[in-house]
Structure 1
Amino acid sequence: MAANVSQGGRIVIPAEIRQKMGIAIGDQVLLDWSEETRELRVFTRKQRLQHARDLVRKYARKEGSVVDELIQERRKAAADE
């Protein structure tokens, strides 16, 4: 699919792609430029949030809380001072 660049550098995302991405009129999209691949990628906030969740889930523990562990470590360090 192709899109023309208009005055001010505007690009219209074709309706078919907007529908597939769940983009509505007035929505803000996020742009990511890759120097390595020289590509411009367009994301919705929802897509980026899901990507972040997937990354966290990949490294998160199955059991226990990292937050609780950090609090315990801080309390121990404070007690040792």
Structure 2
Amino acid sequence: MVEPLRRTVQVAENGRMNLPADMRRGLGLNGAGRVILTQDEDGIRISTVDQALKRIRALAAPFAQGRESVVDEFLAERRAEAAREDGEDSDAGRN
């Protein structure tokens, strides 16, 4: 198991603090950027938006397995409906 990085940082009176460079690199942050802070009973966790999206996609994946995209399903339904309407229109013209 990989040992987690631990650093002690100074927090200024206004709440500002510096995220150490090795930790920024570990998060894939280059230069300025935004992070998500999550506080729970164990403390505060810092993550990037990309990490959060990856986690959300992983949580949602079991519900989307074997399904087409919702947009593709919608378009297929509309095409089928249009084909049925076209068939009804051509049948009506024969009478």
Q: TM-score, normalised by structure 2?
A: 0.60
Structure 1: runs of 5+ lacking an equivalent: 73-81
Aligned to 1:42: 46
Amino acid at match of 1:49: L
The aligned length equals: 68
Q: Which one has the bigger strand percentage?
A: 1
Q: How many angstroms apart in 2 are the aligned matches of 1:66 and 1:13?
A: 39
Give, in whole Å, the separation in 1 of the partners of 2:44 and 2:24. Answer: 16
Aligned-pair identity (%): 25
Residue among 19, 24, 46 paired with 1:18: 24
Q: What is the aligned counterpart of 1:6 among 12, 17, 22? A: 12
Give the ranges of 4+ consecutive aligned residues of structure 1 lying more than 6 Å apart after TM superposition.
none
RMSD over aligned Cα atoms: 2.1
Instruction: State how far apart, in whole Å, the 1-side matches of 2:39 and 2:43 are.
Output: 6
Q: Larger RCO: Structure 1 or Structure 2 (Cα < 8 Å, ≥ 6 residues apart)?
A: 1
